[in-house]
Amino acid sequence: MDEPHVPVSHNNGATEIVAAARISAHLLKVQKNAQRISMTAKNLSVISARIGAEAGSLKELSKFFDSFAQQSIRTSAAINKVAKHIVTDMMTCWRTQLCMGKVQKVLSKPELTAPALNTRLALISQDATSVRQRNFVHQRELGECLDDLTKCMQTMQIIAVNARIEACGLLDYQRQLTELSGSIENYTSAIFGEIKQCEHLLREIVSQ
């Protein structure tokens, strides 16, 4: 009876585990910056209320900022959850590979006939394949969530431009409003940077 074989990465999943852990670290920064955007949006809303009718659409824009910031926080949390699933899957694969290696070593002895071990090895192989397939699904989910986060940031950049335009017509509050809009743009740019890092790390995971 031929021994079951599972294709494995040369590093036994170490690269994927480290990359997924680093994605979680980047997502923590995303969440912090999204929280800062939410806080800045609330400040923008307060100033808009103080201005009154002259504020035009600023109050609505501040609500959009806050809404997209909260959406970013939720999406980051979802990505982080998927990244943790990838770590768990790769740890399971690593333990399975160790187990299979030990069983195969035993079966390599010519004097040994162990049908039960061969059966056990076949079951372990099936489990490892299932984990790998589940991990591919998680990788795809992670990529889709990163795409959603990118679209969210692109929308916020457009809103920030509109907020700057609105601020130009309110000379008494222009400096404050411009500073708030600038802060949101900076936080958004920082999140874009973290997303790019996550995408790079995801490519490392997929390439294994």
Which pLDDT score, from 0 to 100, does residue 196 have? 93
pLDDT at position 11 over 70 = no
Residues 149-162, mean pLDDT to the nearest whole number: 88
- Residue 208 confidence (pLDDT): 67
What would the pLDDT profile of 99-141 be if each residue is shown by its tens digit? 777 777 766 766 555 676 677 777 777 777 888 888 888 889 9
DSSP letter assigned to residue 170: -
Q: What band does 1 get if pLDDT is binned at 50, 70 and 90?
A: very low
Q: Which residue in the block uniquely carries the two structure tokens 């490892």?
A: 128
pLDDT of residue 193: 93
pLDDT digits (tens, 9 = 90+) for 33-64: 999 998 988 888 888 888 887 777 787 888 88
Mean pLDDT in the chain?
A: 81
- Show the tokens assigned to 107: 């079966």
Question: Measured between alpha carbons, how far is residue 98 from residues 6, 20, 85, 123, 130 in Å?
Answer: 12, 21, 20, 14, 17
The answer to whether 23 and 204 are in contact (CB under 8 A) is: no
Q: Which residues of 184-197 are buried (b: 16+ CB within 10 A; e: fewer)?
A: bbebbebbbebbeb
Query: Are the CB atoms for 16 and 9 separated by under 8 Å?
Result: yes
At 175, is the secondary structure helix, strand, or coil? helix
Query: Do the Cβ atoms of 37 and 182 come closer than 8 Å?
Result: no
Kindly tell me if the per-residue pLDDT of 6 is higher than 50.
Answer: no
Answer with the residue of higher pLDDT: 111 or 6. Answer: 111
| Whether the Cβ atoms of residue 107 and residue 3 lie closer than 8 Å to each other | yes
Query: What is the per-residue pLDDT across 134-148, written as a single tens digit (0 to 9) for each?
Result: 888 888 999 999 999
**DSSP state string for 32-60:** HHHHHHHHHHHHHHHHHHHHGGGGTTHHH
Q: Does residue 94 or residue 117 have the better pLDDT? A: 94
Contact (CB, 8 A) for 169 and 48: no
Indicate the DSSP class of residue 54.
G
> Whole-prediction pTM value?
0.77
The predicted pLDDT at position 110 comes to 61
